Structure 1
Amino acid sequence: MEEKARFCHLTVDAVDKRAYVWHEANWKFSDEWHAHHRGQLIYVEKGLQYLHTANQTYLLPTHHCAWIPPGMAHRTSSPVHPVYLRCLFFSSTGQQPFFENINVFNTPRVLREMILFTEQWSRLEKEDAVEQDFLQGLKRILPLSFKAAIPLVLPMPSDPRIKDVVGYLAENIRNEFRSPQIAARFNLTVRTMERLFKKDIGITFAGYQKLLKIIKAAELLSVNGETVKSVAFQVGYESVSTFSNTFFKVLGTRPQEMLSEK
């Protein structure tokens, strides 16, 4: 078992502290599903991370946070390396709705500075009063600093027919497909394919294709050296303005605002 898998399953929940800090500049990902007794705040300092649950996949771009509730089974992955993660774990979280669901969100400046400040306590297993007071204060401001979750989430299909379709779309992300074209390729009628999409993942074929392209674009924007123009081309947009407007409609932010810092 990889070092990080041992860390996830044993070290965090075994440490007898109300809150625990782990910063890692070269995070090692494991395909193993796991859950923590503690709530987890993840901040992506560099690179990007995918967070997988049984029914959905969330993208955490550079300088974004995710909150994972206690007991939520998940696994993580990333298509780029290295990935610098700063993680905070809390044994109690309170009753606010924020703590009950997975949330991916932009990191406010004050929260980012507070997370960076916790580096001095990374992997510290002994009790430290100043550390615990600071972390409890950080935890209390999370619901206050959180404005809205960013919809960087793809629903995961369970029907094998839809799995085949979405796999093909992901492998051919630069292409723009019409429903009749894809339905015929997978021996489905358009009506049947649309019904399966709505029933299995709750959105239309066109809606899924658009969301897939925008989430892939958000991933690419977190990679050093990419530009808005290059990313637009890679996900099948010939017009940068059309890409920017679609990106804004889906995520509520412009692609320029998600470009990785050089």
Structure 2
Amino acid sequence: MERARFCHLTVDSIEKEAYVWHEADWQFSDEWHAHEMGQLIYVEKGVQYLHTADRIYLLPTHHCAWVPPGLLHRTSAPVNPVYLRCIFFSKSGTDPFFQDLKIFHTSPVLREMILFTQQWSRLQDFDPLEADFLKALSGILPFTFQSSLPLVLPVPQNPRIRTMIDYLTEHYFQELKIPEVAARFNLSARTMERLFKQDLGITVAGYIKLFKIIKAAELLSNPGENVKSVAIQVGYDSVSTFSNTFFKVLGIRPQELIPT
């Protein structure tokens, strides 16, 4: 493994209050890790998944994530390359914004500030202008943040549920009938629903719908995709039904996630 290519192996050794790392072809590692520094991620191109012990978060193109210090996580991407612009902070504020992992829209002013930090990418020496600028950027994060996007899937803890979810996610684009799926695992539909609710706090149909919408959000970040094409790929015959379901789940319309 090339040590310099994986930020989680090196970033905590940087003796600065804030550190910029932009990478046009981010190399993902399957290793679980945590940073002593908090991490702001902006996806310039592609999509990224952030995995924690009990959640999977999707970070689409032109959106941001905040990863608080000390949170154990790993990352992945369905398609490469992924262009990430990251800024690490050894000191984050006391505002509730900094306490939890969150996915959120990037305001125009925040995006411009992140792009401006390109000049300091992987600079290990102290630069007073960089220090002042990044302190200001950290300070505006709670004020530009409006709400988290619910682009998150619960992770099953029960091995039986993991097996069922593997099947559901492999066939999500088909019309899945819950009694038939349950029968594949020698269960009644009622028992399968009970197990899902106990482990994930969500119904089987609710999980399938959420997975489809998050998969759609991922696909919408791909160059050249459109709402109709993505609706069909995730199993919707009607674009209006897809758009309305998308809005009910995420609070935004699918076209809002198409990069411009």
State the TM bucket, normalised to the shorter chain: over 0.9
State how 1:142-153 maps to structure 2 within 5 Å. Answer: 142-153=141-152
CA positional deviation for 1:3: 3.8
Residue in 2 that maps onto 1:110:
109
Distance 1:236 1:7 in 2: 37
Q: CA deviation at 1:4?
A: 5.7
1:107-166 residue CA offsets vs partner (Å, 9 max, x unmatched) = 011100000000000000001111011101110111111110000000010111111111
Q: Which residue of the partner structure matches residue 16 of structure 1?
A: 15
* RMSD over equivalenced CA pairs, Å: 1.1
Work out whether 1:58 is the aligned partner of 2:19.
no
Q: Partner residue of 2:7?
A: 7
Shift of 1:6: 4.3
Q: Secondary structure at the match of 2:21?
A: strand
Instruction: Summarize the Cα distance change of 1:6–1:234 in structure 2 as closer, same or farther, 3 Å threshold.
Output: closer
Query: Secondary structure of the equivalent of 1:67?
Result: strand
State the AA in 1 paired with 2:65: A
CA distance in 2, matches of 1:245, 1:154: 20
**1:182 corresponds to which residue?**
181
8 Å contact kept, 2:6–2:27: no
Cα distance between partner residues in 1 of 2:199 and 2:44:
34
Alignment check: 8 A CA contact 2:6 2:29 kept: no
Q: Distance in 2 between matches of 1:22 and 1:220?
A: 26
Q: Distance in 1 between matches of 2:4 and 2:29?
A: 7
TM-score, L = length of structure 2: 0.97
3-state secondary structure, aligned to 2:129: helix
Alignment of 1:225-240 (within 5 A): 225-240=224-239
Letter in structure 2 aligned against 1:62: T
Local SS of the residue matching 1:85: strand
Instruction: Give the TM-score taking structure 1 as reference length.
Output: 0.97
Q: Is the 8 A contact 1:220 1:226 kept in 2?
A: yes
Identity %, equivalent residues: 66
- The aligned amino acid for 2:76 is S
How far does residue 5 in structure 1 lie from its aligned partner after superposition?
Answer: 6.0
Corresponding position of 2:42: 43
Whether the 8 Å CA contact 1:53–1:75 is kept in 2: the answer is yes
For residue 181 of structure 1, report the CA deviation from its aligned partner.
Answer: 1.6
Residue aligned with 2:224, SS: coil
Aligned residues: 260
1:75 maps to 74
Aligned to 2:209: 210
Contact 1:4 1:30 survives alignment (8 Å): no
Gaps of 5+ in 1: none
Code of the residue aligned with 1:258 in structure 2: it is: L
Deviation at 1:24, TM superposition (A): 0.3
DSSP-derived class of the 2:110 partner: helix
Comparing 213-222 and 154-163, the one that deviates more: 154-163
Distance in 2 of aligned mates of 1:130 and 1:250: 42
* AA in 2 matched with 1:206: A
Q: Which deviates more from structure 2 when the two are superposed, residues 172-181 or residues 156-165?
A: 172-181
Three-state SS of the structure 2 residue aligned to 1:158 is: coil
| Runs of 4+ in structure 1 over 2 Å off | 1-7
The 2-side partners of 1:92 and 1:122 are apart by: 19
Q: How far does residue 260 in structure 1 lie from its aligned partner after superposition? A: 3.0
